[in-house]
């Protein structure tokens, strides 16, 4: 049932040219994961080069690091998560998607969220946080907090976490380091699934 609704939505996205990103994409990057079993939706920023080539989110360097962290925290990417981005098409030169590009994609995201109806929404990085959370607050100040936000007609538990691209720059595992905090946040999410 969920799969059919999402297949139909994917067909729509494949023929979407609402914004300029439609002109330069090779593939839309619709989602990854099992919508029937997913208990959380992870929302990243935007597809990069590898994602645009393959049509799958988080398959490049950041994606590999994300996979490592998921494994360490006991979250199954395949069964527990449904992964999407704030936009379905790659912005040129991997720039941050504009508000208007995100707005063009918003209805697709809402439909995915309503259909999968997860226990938790994970805002992975500042761009995803900004898309759904009105207050201007740095991700470092709010990560790991459970926010209750009305999204897709329902109050939903949402947790911001660091983006794995940020973690690529910090290797320390010391208490309070970005990687340490990421692991703590993911373990907290695991306990909410
Ligand atoms: N970064 C993202 O935010 N999303 C992807 O799909 C890949 C890299």
**Span 91-117, pLDDT tens digits:** 999 999 999 999 999 999 999 999 999
Residues with CB under 6 A from ligand 1: 29, 44-48, 51, 57-58, 60, 62-63, 85
Does pTM top 0.85 for this prediction?
yes
Q: How far is the CA of 107 from the centre of ligand 1 (A)?
A: 19
- Pairing between β-strand 81-85 and β-strand 40-44 as defined by DSSP bridges: parallel
Q: Report whether 160 contacts 182 (CB < 8 A).
A: no
Domain annotation for the chain: domains and CATH numbers: 2-192 (3.40.470.10)
Closest listed residue to residue 85, CA positions, set 139, 48, 37:
48
| Strand partners of residue 158 | 121, 147
Q: Whose CA is nearest to atom 8 of ligand 1?
A: 58
Region 44-53: mean pLDDT is: 98
Residue with tokens 């527990």: 80
If you measure from the C-alpha of residue 63 to the centroid of ligand 1, how many angstroms do you get, rounded to a whole number?
7
Q: What angle do CA 141, 145, 151 make, to 5 degrees?
A: 110
Distance 164 CA to ligand 1 centre (A): 9
The candidate with the shortest Cα–Cα distance to 193, out of 33, 49, 47, 68, is 33
The pLDDT of residue 53 is 98
Under 8 Å CB-to-CB from 40, ≥6 apart: which residues?
A: 75, 80, 81, 82, 118, 119, 120, 121, 122, 189, 192, 193
**How far is the centre of ligand 1, averaged over its atoms, from the C-alpha of 48 (Å)?**
6
Q: For a pocket test of ligand 1, which of 44, 102, 129, 139 has the largest count of ligand atoms closer than 8 A to its C-beta?
A: 44
Tens-digit pLDDT profile for residues 123-145: 999 999 999 998 999 999 999 99
């Amino acid at each position: 049932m969920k799969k059919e609704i999402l297949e139909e939505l994917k067909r729509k996205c494949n023929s979407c040219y609402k914004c300029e990103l439609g002109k330069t994409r090779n593939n839309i990057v619709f989602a990854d994961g099992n919508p029937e079993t997913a208990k959380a939706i992870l929302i990243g920023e935007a597809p990069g080069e590898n994602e645009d080539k393959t049509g799958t989110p988080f398959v490049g360097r950041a994606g590999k690091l994300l996979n490592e962290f998921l494994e360490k925290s006991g979250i199954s990417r395949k069964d527990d998560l449904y992964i999407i981005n704030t936009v379905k098409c790659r912005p040129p030169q991997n720039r941050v998607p504009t508000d208007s590009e995100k707005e063009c994609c918003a209805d697709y995201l809402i439909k995915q969220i309503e259909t999968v109806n997860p226990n938790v929404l994970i805002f992975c990085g500042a761009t995803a946080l900004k898309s759904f959370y009105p207050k201007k607050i740095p991700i470092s100040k709010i990560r790991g907090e459970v926010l209750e936000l009305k999204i897709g007609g329902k109050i939903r538990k949402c947790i911001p976490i660091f983006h794995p691209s940020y973690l690529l720059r910090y290797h320390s595992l010391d208490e309070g380091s970005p990687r340490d905090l990421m692991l703590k946040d993911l373990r907290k999410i695991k306990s909410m699934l």
